[in-house]
A and B are shown apart, each in its own frame.
Chain A
């Protein structure tokens, strides 16, 4: 049987909306006259000691450590696309926001020699994305990251990054490969496994019987 909840009987004074309204004004006024700085805006408010609010968007909020912003693709330091279109992020994405078009056999050659594969298109529907970070976690190539850059000053271009994810229609909110790569920027790849592999293969003593002349690209 459902439990019956006893409601507190309110007096006439409490049932009027004036007291709550006045309470609200008190809070606003309290902040307005406050001399305490907010911890969150501390960094931005070095110059103005008494300010508790930000002049957004001219002033930007400093993103705390571990903030999970929008997922973007990254290039390595040589400017090559790191994604190899393995589609693990597409598989793991809980709201199915990611959609990858694999290159097929006739697709563009991967930027990095030996990596063989690169996505023809990479879509992230930012309206669907729940910023869980599974894609970053699952990526075997370290090619996708949730942006959490720290901004120095206002930059119109950078304004569109992470927490200020805006758009005026649905199509605009589906980010394609080029846009994702542009916003993702460069990630410093310390291992460079494909380059290392190709280098090792070249340095290897000659292979006894090779079939290089029958390579698929010929």
Chain B
């Protein structure tokens, strides 16, 4: 969506000048709305351009504007009404006369407008930091806090809560509300992954708009009247689509919280690391929240070329395996890494050309697949990656459940049809022409190379993260790292080459695959490589056609990645 509008947008952006806090700011006349259509720029966006962010709850750049929280009230000055001559009133020096807005029936009282839904008018003055605006904010915030339970010590949102942030900026230490608070339902099971605390809700309806307009599952609504207003699902319909956890991110307060993250860790302890989701080929950008080598959550990271600010629940909750007890952590078949690498290199050097097959799983990074390809070229080996498929949908989920099948194709490990060479490899082993097999990150017994065939091999080198039938047969087992434990790049199904950073340390003696593959490739091929991920990526980018066309470097990938031709 975003890409289309970028190409359609006129080359020269029309701008207009407005005053924010007495300072003239040039802002574009039109701005993209949540669907990517160009609509008139609003007061809130103009203030953002001016570097003065107006507090808001219900407004979200990727959701339709509702304008119901009133937090973004600002005092503005408008040009006067057109006179009898058809011209707006002017000052004595001929400049446009700007009148601060006042209530029509009470001309001494300033009148605010909601920043999120008020379009800019040429000549407009926005008093974003004036005492009038501040007073409006304080009043709105006080009214939002009327029924708030003030239970920050037990609330999971504490630390990333807009209500807390704005209270410390614009709030008052005491409430002038003397009556009893309305008590609303707490700990409501809204769906399989969501808990609602209705007392904390400020009724911004972000969750309702998200479910209705983005997730296309109109499951939520507001029931009851007045101060009994409550978010609810319809009757007993559970709120269980695959995107529900995005409402937790959207919720500016602690009303909607994640069951998975409930009472697990306070957010201020979490270290954020830029990463990617490895659950399918979409390659959603994520932030890993970890503390002391334990991962607590995934959060989506905004990247409009890939996932926008969203990610699916299945991907978001697919991180528990990283901390599993049975993770492979020791080298088997040799006394340690050094001897294992030397022994394997020696055996590969002796191998007849064509007698080696290499399976490079499409869960490995581009760099690792590139090193495997280097090995394969030297050994004239046959290579492939195992396919993984599952359910996809129209929003983010991709039917290809490998995070890097596009990378595997581009680097030349697999052809267009992943897994098509497995039969050939099985025949080769059966016939005795293939005597050595190197497997990275795939269980080949599930793809036609069963255990009896594995027994026939002279050399079986396996690197994986979790134990499976193939790892139990390995002559040399090299424990690898999950993508959260190393750096590297994935290529998404749409050709987006994106990098991810290291958040955790691998278990035991596990090492990132590219590190020991680099040593193996250097020993076997006799060519020097790069022992840093940056150097390795840059070297790969010069040798792989698709990457070379875009002149990729590790630095040029940035945080959002670069799209290559696939």
Listed in ascending order, the chain A residues whose CB lies under 8 Å from chain B are 84-88, 90-91, 102-105, 107, 115-117, 140-141, 197, 200-201, 204, 207-212, 214-218
Contact = CB atoms under 8 A, between A and B. Distances in A.
Give the interface size bracket for B toward A. 35 or more
Contact of A216 (B182, B184, B188, B230): B188
Interface centre among A85, A200, A209, A216 (most CB of B within 10 A): A216
29 contacts: A84-B153, A84-B154, A85-B263, A86-B154, A87-B265, A87-B266, A87-B269, A91-B269, A102-B263, A102-B266, A104-B262, A104-B264, A116-B186, A140-B153, A197-B149, A200-B181, A207-B183, A207-B185, A207-B228, A208-B224, A210-B185, A211-B188, A211-B196, A211-B230, A211-B232, A215-B187, A215-B189, A216-B187, A217-B187
Given A85-B263, A86-B154, A214-B188, 15 more contacts: A84-B154, A86-B152, A102-B265, A105-B260, A116-B151, A140-B153, A200-B181, A200-B183, A204-B180, A204-B182, A208-B225, A216-B187, A216-B188, A217-B187, A218-B189
B372 to A, nearest CB: 40
B374 interface: no
B268 interface: yes
A91 B183 CA distance: 31
A195 B224 CA distance: 26
Given A84-B153, A207-B228, A105 B188 contact: no
Nearest to A208: B224
Nearest to B260: A105
Contacts of B351: none
B158 interface: yes
B183 A105 contact: no
Interface in B168-212: 180-190, 195-196
B154 A115 contact: yes
B341 to A, nearest CB: 39
Contacts of B236: 214
Interface in B248-283: 259-260, 262-266, 268-269
Contacts of A141: 153
B183 A204 contact: yes
B94 to A, nearest CB: 59
A197 to B, nearest CB: 7
B188 A102 contact: no
Given A86-B154, A207-B228, A208-B224, A91 B188 contact: no
Interface of B: 149, 151-154, 158, 180-190, 195-196, 223-225, 228, 230, 232, 236, 259-260, 262-266, 268-269
Contacts of B262: 104-105
Q: A-B pairs with the 7 shortest C-beta distances?
A: A201-B183, A86-B153, A105-B262, A117-B154, A216-B187, A87-B266, A208-B224
A212 B232 CA distance: 12
B185 A91 contact: no
B244 to A, nearest CB: 15
A216 B189 contact: yes
Contacts of A200: 180-181, 183
A22 B230 CA distance: 84
B233 to A, nearest CB: 8
User: Chain A at the B interface: mostly helix, strand, loop or mixed?
Assistant: loop
A103 B183 contact: no
A128 B551 CA distance: 53
A103 to B, nearest CB: 5
Contacts of B180: 200, 204
Contacts of B263: 85, 102-105, 107, 117
A204 B183 CA distance: 7
Contacts of B185: 207, 210-212, 215
A197 B183 CA distance: 9
Contact of A215 (B153, B181, B188, B260): B188
A209 B154 contact: no
B495 to A, nearest CB: 39
A180 B337 CA distance: 46
Contacts of B153: 84, 86, 88, 140-141
A103 B264 CA distance: 7
A197 B197 CA distance: 14
A146 to B, nearest CB: 20
Nearest to A204: B183
Nearest to A139: B153
Nearest to A194: B151
Nearest to B225: A208
B189 A116 contact: no
Contacts of B182: 204
Contacts of B152: 86, 140
Contacts of B186: 116
Contacts of B224: 207-209
B320 to A, nearest CB: 13
Interface centre among A91, A116, A209 (most CB of B within 10 A): A116
Contacts of A117: 154, 263
A72 B151 CA distance: 23
A141 B195 CA distance: 24
A197 B181 CA distance: 9
A215 B195 CA distance: 9
A104 B185 CA distance: 21
